[in-house]
Structure 1
Amino acid sequence: MVHILKCGLRDPHPPFRKYHQSGDLILGAIASQASINSSLKGFTEEPAPVSFQDLIPETKNYQHILALAFAVKEINENLQLLPNITLGFHIYDSFYDAKCTYQATLLLLSTWERFVPNYVCDVQNKLTAVIGGLDSQTSLHVATVLDIYKVPQLIYGHPPAMNDKTPGLPFYQMAATEALQCTGILYLLLHFKWTWIVLITTDDDDGESFVQSVIPLYSQHGICFAFIGRLPQGTFITETAAQAIKIHDRIMGSRANTVVLYADRKDVLFVIVKNFTKTTYTMSKPKGKVWIATVHADLGALEDEWEQKLIHGALSFTLHSNDAPGFYEFIENRSPSTSMGDGFLHDFWLETFSCVIPNVVVGHDKFLNCTGKEKIKDLPADAFEMSMSGQSYSIYNAVYVMAHALEAMSLSQLKHRSMVESGAWNKLWQLHHFLRGVSFNNSAGDEVSFDQNGEISTGYDVINWVSPSNESSHRVKVGKMVSWAPAAQAFTINEEAIIWPSWFNQAQPVSVCSESCHPGSSKKMKEGKPFCCYDCDPCPEGKISDWTDMEDCHNCAEESYPNKKQNLCIPKTINFLSYEEPLGIMLTSFALSFSLITVLVLRAFMKNHDTPIVRANNRNLTYTLLASLLLCFLSALLFIGHPRKLTCLLRQTAFGIIFTVAVSAVLAKTITVVLAFIASKPGSRMRKWVGTKLVSSIVLSCSLVQAAICVTWLATNTPFPDVDFHSVTGEIVLECNEGSVTMFCLVLGYIGFLAIISFTVAFLARKLPDSFNEAKFITFSMLVFCSVWLSFLPTYLSSKGKYMVAVEIFSILASSNGLLVFIFFPKYYIIAFRSELNTRTQLIRKKQT
């Protein structure tokens, strides 16, 4: 098991701490129990170099050793797994030093107790694999040696950053991948909407590799970096202190409340925590931050009460772990009297219980002798944990992986002689093939198998570090990130179980550069700032934003429209001029009433068709005009109701032809009046033009022209039912699309042309001497007609939806009513109420001067 710091030894043959157990096959492990002595937690301007005497065990890491020993013990006691083979192990301490690591690796490859590389004479104690290490650089150092001998290496820490100088080495990764951890942190940030973060990494290959991985991934998901701090790698603490102080000040001065820490526990991360804030905290409470530590930054290694308070509420990713049955009892029964060959136990006992084992440790006069009643289970959690940690769980699985691979290799050789006798164990390089195919369920119930890249299918646990007042810190599992689940289910978090740093008063912290833009507004980027820093602009009219922090506002679908706050699309109501609504009822009533009046007038004229006033006004022309007016009133009903294909075809064409007949009849009547007056003069040649033929030809020819226009319209651009989504806000207007605006204008223009001619002629003939001047009434009627349709155009164009239809109906009714009232009501009044004036004498009476 591996974790390298700084050895500082000058002895070429250092007194390695070791733990060994013989067997037919040996699992090698390179442990690292060394740590910086507590006397070096502070720093001075000129610190002394670290010496061997300053190195003491990291008590929590002792569990790694016990996990390997426990797994080997279980396998050797299992009659079903490797029944004829005894597993052994050799564990060496590398003291965090590359030189020590290389030497320990070569010792594993040599004959036991003889440091002779490439020379092995033992029948037993054949090295099959090496388990290690926790530190990436140690793993690389070990792999460069093992690659020569094709000995597999099972890494329970994170693998080193690979480059062109480090080609494919025989790694089998027992811990979850670095990429899975990056994704897990991303999911955590996105879950709590922390988009403005600080990233602190080590200034080495691993740190740079992490930065290059997360920057494009996190930026793609909307996360920005307030800054990225790199902790320099120095020999002495003072070499990194100044830079660490600057990074600390930037962290505390930043608006980002979330800090992602990618650093080993040996790095300056804890120097920042220990040395800078402790002196200032006593004067003022420091600003709280949410620390998100990667698996490399073992926050559990912080033992000082002050340090534990600083990480209160922090979140960290740890390797997934589970308690193997019997492991607690195995640790509980551990003692110097029952553990033979364990060179680490004495150092562990000295560090944790501050006592020395009699007749074993000498030269420690300041420590009392141990009583023998010391129990590991009585140690506080910050000194030693009884539950299996993530690294220990990976080591436990690594031992079983090797056992199952050896079992598979043994079964493949059943057709031959014993592998030991045949020398098959001398070809352990073949073990790689069986390692890749390992798949089993361990005693904790978890499945263990490798993928095609030699990486185990596992995950990370999300831990919340809680440090209550006057109590040691403890970890609370609040989530997990697994590799085997679908993307939507890979990350889970129980935010209700999280205890936040006291600075935030147990409210979920916020870590953003700019406040969120609420629905109804969109983000506007600030020039020269990261994309997480922005202003909020209200959506322009007609657009909405229905989510927080939208990049741009968008239009609603055609079937909906924005509400007043412009944050929601409301379904539009379907609207058209119907018979049920008040406006439709009113216009329908007018149309039917005027139609009834027209029928009454027509009936009165037909009943009195032989009277002088009817005969004098050309009875057939009068009946034609009244009939066309009746149809004009009724044609208004085609514009009311749900637009159908038939009604859309008939609306404008029927209106155009009927109105043309009516106006041409008025024109014929006007021309008849003028010709009749001229023809009444003695010797006039116009007498022959006065008659029904001229009237019929005028009406027929004018109507045929309009009919030709309408037929052309229907043949080229047929009107059809249509839907208007945009004219009226909040409404879907059902209407008739005229097909061609040009043809519609041509129909109206032709009617207007006839009306202007009629008005002109009638106006010129308005002073003709007669007791009953027909031209004068025609003038008034055409004046009303033209006024109505001239005002129709701007009103129609400025109206929308059903009101456009209402304007046209009103114009039809008003203009038709003007013709009816001014032309026929004076005559109807005489017929109905002043019959004494309906005589020939009255008609030919000259108007007195």
Structure 2
Amino acid sequence: MELSHSDKSGGYRITYRNYRHILAIIYAIEEINENLSLLPNITLGFDIYDSCSYESKAIETTLKLLTGTENEVPNYQCAERGTLAGIIGHMLSSTTKSMAKLSGVHFLPQLNQYLENVNFETSSGENFHFEKREIAGEYDIMNWFITPNQTSIYTQIGSYISSAPPGRQLVLNEKLIQWNHIFKEVPQSVCSNSCLPGYRKAPRKSEQKCCYDCVLCSEGEISNNTDMENCIKCSEHQWSNERRDTCIPRTIDFLSYEDALGIVLSFFAILLSALTLAILSIFIKHKETPIVKANNRDLSYILLISLSLSFLCSLLFIGRPHTITCFFRQAAFGIVFAIAVSSVLAKTITVVIAFNATKPGSESRKWMKAGISTYLVGICAMGEVIICFVWFLSSPPFPDFDTSERSLKMTLQCNEGSAVAFYFLIGYMGVLAVLSFIVAFLARKLPDTFNEASHITFSMLVFCSVWLSFFPAYLSTKGKYMVTVEIFAILASSGGLMSCIFLPKCYIIIIRPELNTKESLMGKKVTRYNVESK
């Protein structure tokens, strides 16, 4: 039994909440003593003290057990009795620890659960055994309830059968349970509330296993049941909803013509392509003028057409990726750009050959008539064609979903298939650009008639700067912004070539036609040449 405080009178009242434990101990000891086969020639006895759930009282009663009398005398045994075999602690851990510190000084064991692997038969012939500190058998579960007139009522509400299959050992009739009036609902047997779907249980450090915190599942993970210890990761093509309790399909994202970014890029691509065609029409219209003739009309036409197509190639990168667009967009971009850069290289070489052809006795005149520049463009462009052909045979591009981003959206993009082939395509174009830059840089001080070399030098400087900055920007972005970076590089580099090479000539043709004469060009040439000769 247990002695506790009374809230109203300030005195004490006796409760029978733990009285069953005392009865169990007495019953077990009596059964053991009556069975001579368990402990032959040994009789067990016991002393029971009430600590009233106080630590000080528990220490006092422990001293009484050691002394053997009501007057506790430390280190003295004042009563004749049998050997003290052990002490059974209190049900409270704090009280039990206080008793253990004192009994440990006297090397007395303290038992918190008192029997293990013991079998005996009761006087009524019923077999009982304690196995692994648990009693195996069939037990009635009783509901102890005190009525308003202070009458105790015991009602059987279920049973526990240890030998039954798992899941059927405990049987309860919840309708028969009568709770204390202070409980408004069924009390919880744990120190934490249940974790709802969308949350997982996170154990608290240095606390009982039943104590935990409910942590919201991370993005891309869900928990669809109550009290789940781990969240479930959604599949690649799914993502968690806001409540983190259901996986939902991801939305497909790509650079479309409906996006503001797609509209702006498309507008500039078409505008620059139209401007390039306008320049081409100006050159065709004034094809017999000296400034057009002096800059190799055929190469100028090829370069302007390839630049116009390169602007339009960027449109293949916008819109929903399909197998055909993924297959041809890099090839179209690479081959058209290779033709454009090869044309610039051929124009640069033509400038050098043309200057040398003006010298007396030079054999460069036959190279001018042989059309070497046109063949050079075809040979250089064929290298890019071979790279694309090998790329498509080995590992062609294809539409694919990028699910690496941790968001509800997944990007539909073109998987390049072979990253090595893609960088070979860009690298080959870069080699042609570097060669053009080197040749143009060496020819930048030629006489004024051939000052196209200085324009080509600056255009190649812009071209190389754009593509050198392309690689870090391309590798550091994800999703549809990778496509945006490539489109910007195409427009910027193509626009740089067109602006640096052709806009100055258009200025002379349209704004300053008086300079577009053979006499004006030859006069500048002779003057510059005579000055440099001195």
- Whether the 8 Å contact between 2:253 and 2:409 is mirrored in structure 1 is yes
Report the 3-state secondary structure (helix = DSSP H, G, I; strand = E; otherwise coil) of the residue aligned with 1:805: helix
Match of 1:657 in 2: 335
Asked if 1:814 is matched to 2:485, the reply is no
- Whether the 8 Å contact between 2:199 and 2:228 is mirrored in structure 1 is no
Distance 2:326 2:486 in 1: 14
What's the CA shift string for 1:764-812, capped at 9, x where partnerless?
A: 1112121561011111111111111000000000000000001001101
Amino acid at match of 1:249: H
What is the CA distance between 1:696 and its match in structure 2?
Answer: 1.1
Report the 3-state secondary structure (helix = DSSP H, G, I; strand = E; otherwise coil) of the residue aligned with 2:252: strand
Match of 2:446 in 1: 768
What's the CA shift string for 1:162-190, capped at 9, x where partnerless?
A: xxxxxxxxxxxxxxxxxxxxxxxxxxxxx
Match of 1:606 in 2: 284
Match of 2:403 in 1: 725
Asked if 1:796 is matched to 2:474, the reply is yes
Unmatched 5+ stretches in structure 2: 3-17, 34-43, 52-86, 96-121, 124-136
Report the 3-state secondary structure (helix = DSSP H, G, I; strand = E; otherwise coil) of the residue aligned with 1:685: coil
- Whether the 8 Å contact between 1:517 and 1:523 is mirrored in structure 2 is no
Distance 1:586 1:488 in 2: 67
What's the CA shift string for 1:242-284, capped at 9, x where partnerless?
A: 4998879316979xxxxxxxxxxx99xxxxxxxxxxxxxxxxx
Asked if 1:500 is matched to 2:179, the reply is yes
Aligned partner of 1:250 among 91, 100, 111: 91
Distance 1:576 1:732 in 2: 9
What's the CA shift string for 1:111-169, capped at 9, x where partnerless?
A: xxxxxxxxxxxxxxxxxxxxxxxxxxxxxxxxxxxxxxxxxxxxxxxxxxxxxxxxxxx
Distance 1:684 1:571 in 2: 73
Match of 1:784 in 2: 462
What is the CA distance between 1:615 and its match in structure 2?
Answer: 1.6
What's the CA shift string for 1:429-478, capped at 9, x where partnerless?
A: xxxxxxxxxxxxxxxxxxxxxxxxxxxxxxxxxxx554331164557898
Amino acid at match of 2:416: E
Match of 1:593 in 2: 271
- Whether the 8 Å contact between 2:310 and 2:336 is mirrored in structure 1 is yes
Residues 1:645 and 1:497: Cα distance change in structure 2 (over 3 Å): farther
Distance 1:692 1:835 in 2: 31
- Whether the 8 Å contact between 2:272 and 2:495 is mirrored in structure 1 is yes
What is the CA distance between 1:565 and its match in structure 2?
Answer: 8.8
Residues 1:569 and 1:202: Cα distance change in structure 2 (over 3 Å): farther
Asked if 1:829 is matched to 2:513, the reply is no
Asked if 1:559 is matched to 2:355, the reply is no
Amino acid at match of 1:623: Y
Q: Bigger radius of gyration, 1 or 2? A: 1
Distance 1:772 1:815 in 2: 23
- Whether the 8 Å contact between 1:755 and 1:786 is mirrored in structure 2 is yes
Amino acid at match of 1:468: T
Aligned partner of 1:716 among 384, 388, 394: 394
- Whether the 8 Å contact between 2:252 and 2:410 is mirrored in structure 1 is yes
Report the 3-state secondary structure (helix = DSSP H, G, I; strand = E; otherwise coil) of the residue aligned with 2:30: coil
Distance 2:262 2:270 in 1: 12
Unmatched 5+ stretches in structure 1: 1-40, 43-197, 205-228, 255-265, 268-293, 298-315, 318-463
Report the 3-state secondary structure (helix = DSSP H, G, I; strand = E; otherwise coil) of the residue aligned with 1:234: helix
What is the CA distance between 1:833 and its match in structure 2?
Answer: 2.5
Aligned partner of 1:704 among 361, 370, 382: 382
Residues 1:696 and 1:500: Cα distance change in structure 2 (over 3 Å): same
What's the CA shift string for 1:76-95, capped at 9, x where partnerless?
A: xxxxxxxxxxxxxxxxxxxx
- Whether the 8 Å contact between 1:526 and 1:534 is mirrored in structure 2 is no
- Whether the 8 Å contact between 2:192 and 2:213 is mirrored in structure 1 is no
Aligned partner of 1:678 among 349, 356, 361: 356
Distance 1:718 1:789 in 2: 23
- Whether the 8 Å contact between 1:724 and 1:732 is mirrored in structure 2 is yes
Amino acid at match of 2:509: I
Aligned partner of 1:234 among 30, 39, 63: 30
- Whether the 8 Å contact between 2:221 and 2:233 is mirrored in structure 1 is yes
Amino acid at match of 1:234: E
What's the CA shift string for 1:718-739, capped at 9, x where partnerless?
A: 1111111113533211111111
Report the 3-state secondary structure (helix = DSSP H, G, I; strand = E; otherwise coil) of the residue aligned with 1:695: helix
* Residue-pair matches, total: 425
Residues 1:243 and 1:626: Cα distance change in structure 2 (over 3 Å): farther
What is the CA distance between 1:295 and its match in structure 2?
Answer: 6.8
Report the TM-score when normalising by structure 1.
Answer: 0.44
Residues 1:811 and 1:465: Cα distance change in structure 2 (over 3 Å): same
Distance 2:256 2:176 in 1: 61
Amino acid at match of 1:591: A
Distance 2:27 2:467 in 1: 85
Report the 3-state secondary structure (helix = DSSP H, G, I; strand = E; otherwise coil) of the residue aligned with 1:779: helix
Report the TM-score when normalising by structure 2.
Answer: 0.68
Amino acid at match of 2:274: L
Residues 1:509 and 1:615: Cα distance change in structure 2 (over 3 Å): same
Residues 1:751 and 1:794: Cα distance change in structure 2 (over 3 Å): same
Amino acid at match of 1:232: A
- Whether the 8 Å contact between 1:724 and 1:733 is mirrored in structure 2 is yes
- Whether the 8 Å contact between 1:631 and 1:658 is mirrored in structure 2 is yes
What's the CA shift string for 1:387-425, capped at 9, x where partnerless?
A: xxxxxxxxxxxxxxxxxxxxxxxxxxxxxxxxxxxxxxx
Q: In angstroms, what is the RMSD of aligned CA positions?
A: 4.4
After the TM superposition, which of the residue ranges 558-567 and 607-616 deviates more from structure 2? Answer: 558-567
Amino acid at match of 2:395: N
Asked if 1:669 is matched to 2:510, the reply is no
Distance 1:576 1:201 in 2: 72
Distance 1:639 1:623 in 2: 26
What is the CA distance between 1:818 and its match in structure 2?
Answer: 0.6
- Whether the 8 Å contact between 2:219 and 2:406 is mirrored in structure 1 is no
Distance 1:709 1:814 in 2: 24
- Whether the 8 Å contact between 2:138 and 2:160 is mirrored in structure 1 is no
What is the CA distance between 1:580 and its match in structure 2?
Answer: 0.7
Aligned partner of 1:510 among 188, 194, 219: 188
Distance 1:712 1:690 in 2: 35
Report the 3-state secondary structure (helix = DSSP H, G, I; strand = E; otherwise coil) of the residue aligned with 1:586: helix
What is the CA distance between 1:571 and its match in structure 2?
Answer: 4.4
What's the CA shift string for 1:632-670, capped at 9, x where partnerless?
A: 011101111111000010011111111000000010011
Residues 1:728 and 1:606: Cα distance change in structure 2 (over 3 Å): farther
Residues 1:470 and 1:814: Cα distance change in structure 2 (over 3 Å): same
Report the 3-state secondary structure (helix = DSSP H, G, I; strand = E; otherwise coil) of the residue aligned with 2:410: strand
Report the 3-state secondary structure (helix = DSSP H, G, I; strand = E; otherwise coil) of the residue aligned with 2:371: helix
Asked if 1:748 is matched to 2:434, the reply is no
Report the 3-state secondary structure (helix = DSSP H, G, I; strand = E; otherwise coil) of the residue aligned with 2:330: helix
Distance 2:147 2:505 in 1: 107
Amino acid at match of 1:250: M
The residue correspondences of 1:37-48 to structure 2 (distance < 5 A) are none
- Whether the 8 Å contact between 1:656 and 1:751 is mirrored in structure 2 is yes
Query: Identity of counterpart residues, as a percentage?
Result: 45
- Whether the 8 Å contact between 1:771 and 1:842 is mirrored in structure 2 is no
Aligned partner of 1:621 among 296, 299, 305: 299
Distance 2:341 2:169 in 1: 81
Match of 1:99 in 2: none
Report the 3-state secondary structure (helix = DSSP H, G, I; strand = E; otherwise coil) of the residue aligned with 1:470: coil
What's the CA shift string for 1:557-605, capped at 9, x where partnerless?
A: 2123457897775643210111111111111111111111111111111
Match of 2:148 in 1: 469
Amino acid at match of 1:601: I
What's the CA shift string for 1:474-502, capped at 9, x where partnerless?
A: 578988999xxxx9999997868854335
Distance 2:520 2:406 in 1: 58
Amino acid at match of 2:401: V
Residues 1:467 and 1:807: Cα distance change in structure 2 (over 3 Å): same
What is the CA distance between 1:830 and its match in structure 2?
Answer: 2.0
Distance 2:21 2:154 in 1: 23
Amino acid at match of 1:467: I
Q: Which structure has more RCO (C-alpha within 8 Å, separation ≥ 6)?
A: 1
- Whether the 8 Å contact between 1:544 and 1:555 is mirrored in structure 2 is yes
Distance 1:691 1:536 in 2: 86
Asked if 1:640 is matched to 2:347, the reply is no
Distance 1:792 1:804 in 2: 10
What is the CA distance between 1:545 and its match in structure 2?
Answer: 5.5
